[in-house]
Structure 1
Amino acid sequence: MDSIKLWTEEEQNFYGKNVWRESTIPEEFTEWCTSFSGRTALISGEEQLTYGELYKRCIEMSSWLAERNVRRGECVLLQMPNSIGFMIVLFAILRIGAVPVLALPAQRASDVIALCALAEPTHYIGVNRYLSTDYGEVTDRLRSEQPQIQIITFSTDEDPDLMLRECRSSYPVEACHGSNLDIALLLLSGGTTGTPKLIPRTHAGYSYNYRTMASITGMDGDSVYLNILPTAHNFSLSCPGIFGVLSRGGKIVIAGSGSFDEGFELIARHGVTITAMVPTLARLWAEAVEWDEPDLSSLKLLQVGGARLDPSDAEFIMKRFGCRLQQVFGTAEGLICCTRPDDPDSAVLHSQGRPISEYDVCRIVDDEERDVPEGQTGELIVKGPYTIHEYYRAGDRNKGAFTVDGYYRMGDLVRLREDGNFEVVGRIKEQINRAGEKIAAAEVETLLLKHPCIESCAVVPVKDEVLGERICAFAIGEEVKLNEVRDFLMNNGLALYKLPDQLVFIDRWPLTAVGKVDKKRLSQIGAEAA
């Protein structure tokens, strides 16, 4: 494993402040399984494991993997769907002291090849197929282009629930006792550059992340978490995610898909108390509540994050679900902000929350990294006890992502409200440069959603020979003409130069691997539709 800058003089104080623990994540996992041994930890379909059973299976799997030459300090690329098997393999890799590189199930061969070129894993662990996805192309290209990588593929034909009961070995392997400042896992950055970046999260920082979120969300032994989003995503891992829930002795119910039909049944059947979604999925489920009339009485907290949630959508979702809504805003690189369960509705609906740690240092700056006046919009930059200092093997690309004094550039345009919460205005890369004028897509989207014929929308830049970039609005709903929409927006106070130049109605949104609206694809569609 390459060395990486993980320690600064400023961070030495985190030990004295009881921020960082000296234990590693696998050591904490052992504590959880010992303390909550008889409790149910995981449920998937008709299968379930107690904490004690999960721990035993992880020990067996670590021996089985070690027999196949998985070693301490080496990277292992893990690409498995949400399942009990994913949990077993993940904790087994950590127990050995290897570093899991977490790929999303929806990523295809070209993505996996790019990750392998960067991380240089010794092993790839995946499945042959899941639902409608066949991973044969992934493994075929790995064998052809990365022959040094050992491929381990589990068959969903023989083991559809991925319980992996046959993966046992007498090969002796002791649990690794590394440093809490070692890299625990490598997460995939959600950036849009097209070049993969890997996020090195340490045991100390990641543990602080999920323990703090578990406290904020009120996790305890009675908590039941419905895992819908890809488990390999930071939101599902640590906000509080599977790590945070297990650290408090709670129960995790694993959904096979993002279908509300399955999800509603699981919530009612298992008494789910908390779940997490991206805005597009939450809106879809909220619409289904109206005509499906599911029993959601056990649900106490719905987390929505991964993209900006419009206030009108937030109000609609909270009303339909009938529970508290928590907006979660942050990054896999570190900083997490969220509203609190006891915040007033005005904060929950109209802001994306505040930092989870008192030790997060946040600044809102202009293009020259000067702090903007109070209440003004600028770029959010941050450093703190769980935010990285650099990407893994990124070289010169780190220069654009971090300031010279160690702040991570979030790339989000925000303003600080009087109540101390952040309001996300948009992404810097989602600004549209129309004839030299910078337009925040989120501002136009917010007003578009007030139109009675528009149910949901997205505003993107499209290359234009005259303007440089033109404003293209995509919408789902009852079709109306562009000039009618422009008149509506002007009557609602939108400046002339911010009005859409193009309007395209579509039936459904193209989505990224984690369920976000794929704005890059929308820009391509807009160019083709011109």
Structure 2
Amino acid sequence: MSAVPDLEPLVLDGVVGHPEEFAARYRRDGLWIDRTFSEMLFDTVERVPDDVAVIAGDTELTYAELGEQVLRLAAGFRARGIGRGDRVVVQLPNVAAYIPLVFALFELGAVPVLALAAHERNEIAQFVDLAEAVAYLTVESHDGSDLAGLAAGIAASSPTVAHTVVLDRAGGGPELDALLAHEPLRHERRSLPSDVAFLQLSGGTTGTSKLIPHTHEGYLGSMVQASRVGGITADTVQLVVLPMPHSFAMRSPGYLGALHAGATIVLATDGSPDTVFPLIQRHRVTETALVPPLALAWLNSSLRGEYDLTSLRTVRVGGAKFGAEAAARIGRELGATLQQSYGMAEGLHTFTGLDEDEETITTRQGRPTSDADEILVVDDEDRPVPQGTPGHLLTRGPATVRGYYRTPEHDRTVFTADGFYRVGDLVQQDERGYLTVVGRAKDQINRGGSKIAPEEVENHLLAHPAVHDASVVGVPDDVLGERAKAYLVPREGGDPSALTLAGTRSFLRERGLAGYKLPDLVEVVETFPSTVAGKVSKRAQRTKKD
């Protein structure tokens, strides 16, 4: 690699950086890494060129082949005028071309805006406008959405978008081939570790997602810490089932951790058992990351006994609270070690240790990967609460940004004056620093003055032999203010007739749940409404008309 002389730091309008005293300390202590994403990848290419990097369907790329694709695609993008600091909206499903395309943008110093494949016209137009994107990269269609038509509309209406690249549904096609036909660039430093590497979407469950500016050095540092705790090595075979723009899929430790270690990444188009169980058996997958609904689908699947899943060593679960009853089943029924993870795209992530006792693994959501990750648990007036008492989580540290992209007014509501991020979750912290997530502050139910944490009730409901999944919300009530309503998805082979209001309340009462926490209403449903980020939409459940 050759370095470009006198490369100046990239300055993007609307990005709030860390104060210099914090940045200097994070660099000094090795919590920020003096590499760019592209340099990280080519370090691995040089170290293990012939090892398999990516498997997706019938496509298999070695690290050398991946590196060559990155440099060819970078040449193709540069020929279209895309360069350092240019924002490019990338909306792709989990396809083989995802990693080389995004890393080609990293190689140029361009800034990908990582959208979800499930996003529609309204969201994409907002991302394009906010980021002033110069290009939009997508597939022709996804889950019935005409993304080729969306691309044409964006190109016609946006004053900044000069280029669109539309791949076929499988992530290939003539436009990709045209980019790959270019002679590869020479790999060199075209950006600095302190530059903004990409803009990631916030994982909020309501409203328009905010854009989060992550630097190379900060995000790579966070990933390296997660890889250490997650036990990622060159022998790891990682199954990626979550959407690739998700922070959990990217760096917790994610496919970035796998690329850093020289491991193999197996991409799945979805996380359903009939899709992933054959992949686990065929490729001897050793680890994966799941959100709780997928973990439950795996645990309750009748297909589990038809495939050899014994290669699985670690199942990482995060993205939402994973109840203790379900958590205890991972080791017992899948034969893998559960690693709970908690965090947010804004930065902080926590993990349980791979060698922790079962009580910790099943009931805690982990502790920060670094002592520099500062945790405050406070009351409604921002006063610290006693250890073990539920309170609002505030955090700042090397992984956590100091502001969203171009949203100064919103920043003033979610970041304190001294840089702590208001997460919006209620947590407890024990004497070892482990966090237990009580729930979202806005999801707490106020039933006649008595406060109910939905996750506690949901955890008990998941122990019911007829329940596959449970979601408890507060619904308006003229007398109590709110009543608790339980939505239940019946388990395959279970007895849904047992899921009456009386039967459900009796079951919970036998488990010792306080009377005021028992659901006032029960509704059996086939599935839960979800947000575009794949989380249960409790807002939709709260506002559902009977």
**Which of the residues 515, 518, 522 maps onto 1:503?**
522
In structure 2, the partner of 1:243 is 256
Taking the aligned partners of 1:171 and 1:475, their CA distance within structure 2 comes to 54
Alignment of 1:380-395 (within 5 A): 380-395=393-408
Letter paired with 2:17: L
In structure 2, the partner of 1:448 is 461
In structure 2, the partner of 1:379 is 392
- Do residues 432 (structure 1) and 445 (structure 2) align? yes
**Which of the residues 517, 520, 531 maps onto 1:512?**
531
The answer on whether the counterparts of 1:281 and 1:515 sit within 8 Å (CA) in structure 2 is no
In structure 2, the partner of 1:4 is 15
- The alpha-carbon deviation at position 326 of structure 1 amounts to 0.6
**What is the Cα-based RMSD across aligned positions, in Å?**
2.3
In structure 2, the partner of 1:181 is 194
In structure 2, the partner of 1:148 is 160
Alignment of 1:90-239 (within 5 A): 90-130=102-142, 132-156=144-168, 164-167=176-179, 168-170=181-183, 175-239=188-252
TM-score by length of 1: 0.94
**Which of the residues 88, 97, 104 maps onto 1:76?**
88
3-state secondary structure, aligned to 2:17:
coil
How many pairs were matched up? 527
- Unpaired runs of 5+ residues, structure 1, are none
In structure 2, the partner of 1:16 is 28
Structure 1 window deviating more from structure 2 (205-214 vs 4-13): it is: 4-13
- The alpha-carbon deviation at position 158 of structure 1 amounts to 8.5
In structure 1, the partner of 2:52 is 40
CA pair 452-265 structure 1, distance change in 2 beyond 3 A: closer
Taking the aligned partners of 2:167 and 2:217, their CA distance within structure 1 comes to 35
3-state secondary structure, aligned to 1:81:
coil
CA deviation digits over 1:168-193, x for unaligned, max 9?
Answer: 32596874433322111111001134
Alignment of 1:301-316 (within 5 A): 301-316=314-329
Taking the aligned partners of 1:171 and 1:254, their CA distance within structure 2 comes to 25
Taking the aligned partners of 2:418 and 2:432, their CA distance within structure 1 comes to 28
CA pair 490-162 structure 1, distance change in 2 beyond 3 A: farther
- The alpha-carbon deviation at position 282 of structure 1 amounts to 1.0
3-state secondary structure, aligned to 1:153:
strand
In structure 2, the partner of 1:365 is 378
**Which of the residues 419, 423, 427 maps onto 1:414?**
427
CA deviation digits over 1:420-459, x for unaligned, max 9?
Answer: 3211111112112344443221122223334454332101
CA deviation digits over 1:339-364, x for unaligned, max 9?
Answer: 11111111111111111112111111
Taking the aligned partners of 2:448 and 2:165, their CA distance within structure 1 comes to 52
3-state secondary structure, aligned to 1:444:
helix
**Which of the residues 403, 416, 421 maps onto 1:403?**
416
Taking the aligned partners of 1:157 and 1:81, their CA distance within structure 2 comes to 9
The answer on whether the counterparts of 1:511 and 1:517 sit within 8 Å (CA) in structure 2 is yes
- Unpaired runs of 5+ residues, structure 2, are 1-11, 491-495
The answer on whether the counterparts of 1:21 and 1:180 sit within 8 Å (CA) in structure 2 is yes
The answer on whether the counterparts of 2:285 and 2:312 sit within 8 Å (CA) in structure 1 is yes
Structure 1 window deviating more from structure 2 (370-379 vs 444-453): it is: 444-453
Structure 1 window deviating more from structure 2 (293-302 vs 10-19): it is: 10-19
CA pair 327-312 structure 1, distance change in 2 beyond 3 A: same
- Do residues 473 (structure 1) and 489 (structure 2) align? no
Q: Percent identity?
A: 37
- Do residues 287 (structure 1) and 306 (structure 2) align? no
Taking the aligned partners of 1:263 and 1:158, their CA distance within structure 2 comes to 17
Letter paired with 2:98: F
TM-score by length of 2: 0.91
Taking the aligned partners of 1:398 and 1:157, their CA distance within structure 2 comes to 37
CA deviation digits over 1:144-180, x for unaligned, max 9?
Answer: 5425313423332686589934423259687443332
Structure 1 window deviating more from structure 2 (418-427 vs 286-295): it is: 286-295
In structure 1, the partner of 2:5 is none
Taking the aligned partners of 1:25 and 1:405, their CA distance within structure 2 comes to 29
In structure 2, the partner of 1:482 is 501
